[in-house]
Amino acid sequence: MKEFFQLLKQGNKSALMAAVVNAVVSLVKGTTYIFTGNVAMFAETLHSLGDAANQLFVFTGSALSRKRPTKRFPKGFGRVVNLVLLGAVIVVGIMAYETIKEGVSHIFHPTESTGFLINLIVLLGCTALESTVLLKAMREIIHETGAEAKGLAIFPVALKNLKQAKAATKLVFMEDTVATGGGLLAALAVVISHFTTFHQAEGIASILIGLMMFIVVGEVFLDNAGGAIGKSDEGMHLQVGQRIMTDPDVRDIQILTVIKEGDTFHVDAEVELDSALTLAEIDDIRNRIEDDLLQIDNISDVMITFDEEDSVMDWEYGDGR
């Protein structure tokens, strides 16, 4: 149990903050829906509730993925975060379905909700809270990818570097982007429904929010399904290959595999050397290359093997062939 709490301290802070904020927001929205019967508020309640559950799972998964390897699991627990995220998207998918279902029902059977002012205040207030989580996630992306940005430049820079961020941070960013946009959309629907007779606006907003949630489900599923199986990372593959080729004793790279497991990378390379080198020299080269690669952020394991130079260049144009 002590180890578990120690691991929690290393969990993704953006996910923890998002879970707490969304839990509070879902409670406020749910209470408001009970008293007003607003369909757009219902959609936002389910959305925030799903996000809160998701992000709590993500925080726990990101912490457990840092557990050290054991005899039973010698490769470590890096893929735990991917498995947790795959489970988390199921929750979002269910919430998205219910949101769309309620929206369709409201379009065919529109009703006028009450409490216009309280609905608007709650939606805008909760959206402001969710935007703070989004800002935190954007800063985390910039920090994790080594980028630099300030002020209004944070959003485009974070979006540009999103694919290189940790899986947990990406999920928080995507969910709270949808949450912020969904909150504003729901607020607009409430205004339209109150000042016109077009009460179906709330149903349409509910459907659009549900569809945005499904987009998140698709993106997260595809990203983490590959991570759970163990996928190659092209960007890191190129970086590692170029770093190996800079070593003065390396003649070529026959095989290079860079597998992403959770938030870390495992490198396996077969390198060609001059056949005249002694075993002691080869051992020094191995240590030098491994130490150099381990200096790259998020690389946790390196395995280097050697073969004699065959005069055939396999590593061409930095493409890893």
Q: Out of 3.90.1150.10, 3.30.479.30, 3.30.56.10, 1.20.1510.10, which CATH number does the structure's domain 2-229 have? A: 1.20.1510.10
- CA dist 64 to 69, 103, 281, 288, Å? 11, 38, 39, 31
Q: What percent of the chain has pLDDT over 70?
A: 93
Average pLDDT estimate for 261-283: 85
Q: What is the pLDDT of residue 321?
A: 42
Q: 234-308 adopts what CATH topology?
A: Alpha-Beta Plaits (3.30.70)
Q: What is the pLDDT of residue 27?
A: 93
pTM: predicted TM-score of the whole model, two decimal places = 0.69
Question: What is the C-alpha to C-alpha distance for residues 19 and 36, in angstroms, rounded to an integer?
Answer: 25
Q: What is the mean pLDDT of the chain?
A: 84
CA angle 51, 207, 204 (to 5 degrees): 130
DSSP 57-93: HHHHHHHHTTPPP-SS-TT-STTHHHHHHHHHHHHHH
Each domain of the chain, given as residue ranges in start order, spans 2-229, 234-308
Q: Are 19 and 175 in contact (CB under 8 A)?
A: no
Q: What is the pLDDT of residue 320?
A: 42
Between the CA atoms of 221, 227, 228 and 232, what dihedral angle is there, to the nearest 10 degrees? 140
Please tell me what DSSP assigns to residue 199: T
50-102: pLDDT as tens digits: 888 878 887 887 787 777 777 777 666 777 777 887 887 888 888 889 889 98
